[in-house]
Amino acid sequence: MRDDDLRAIFERVKTVAVVGYSANPERPSHQVAEFLHSKGYRVIPINPGLAGQYALGEEIFPGLAAIPADITIDMVDVFRQSDAVPDLVEDVLKIMPKLDVLWLQLGVSHPIAQRRAAEAGNTVVASRCPKIEYPRVI
């Protein structure tokens, strides 16, 4: 993916669901969520073990399906193992048919699921980190 494409993603995305959010400040998912929030993005944390708690001014939801319909998610940022990606993509396609960006974190990829998401109209970024890419391209 070209830098112009990444820049365009950061410019059009407003709300990000972080799947695999951790309340531990030392975990990458926590750090990336805080970074995105500090850059003005609305961050919706997803973690079944923390559901009902709050972080970054938002309720933590147990899964994507629990996000209220009045919250439009533009990007799903995935902090999960690669083998979890196919089921996550199927959930995204059912629950969020108008999702713009599926972002898979460093080390996370699943070519078949990525192709399925791309064929459904999602921009797919794999094995990259927005906390690294944002300062590089903006």
Q: For position 62, what pLDDT does the model report?
A: 98
* CATH architecture, domain 3-137: 3-Layer(aba) Sandwich (3.40)
Q: In this predicted model, what pLDDT tens digit does every residue of 29-63 receive, in sequence order?
A: 999 999 999 999 999 999 999 999 999 999 999 99
DSSP the chain: --HHHHHHHHHH--EEEEET--S-TTSHHHHHHHHHHHTT-EEEEE-GGGTT-EETTEE-BSSGGGS-TTS--SEEEE-S-GGGHHHHHHHHHHH-TT--EEEEPTT---HHHHHHHHHTT-EEE-S--HHHHHHHH-
Give residue 66's pLDDT band: very low, low, confident or very high (50, 70, 90). very high
Task: Tell me, yes or no, if the pTM score tops 0.85.
Answer: yes
Strand partners of residue 18: 45, 77
Query: So where are the chain's domains?
Result: 3-137
For 83-134, write each residue's pLDDT tens digit: 999 999 999 999 998 999 999 999 999 999 999 999 999 999 999 999 999 9
Q: What is the pLDDT of residue 88?
A: 97
- What is the chain's mean pLDDT, rounded? 97
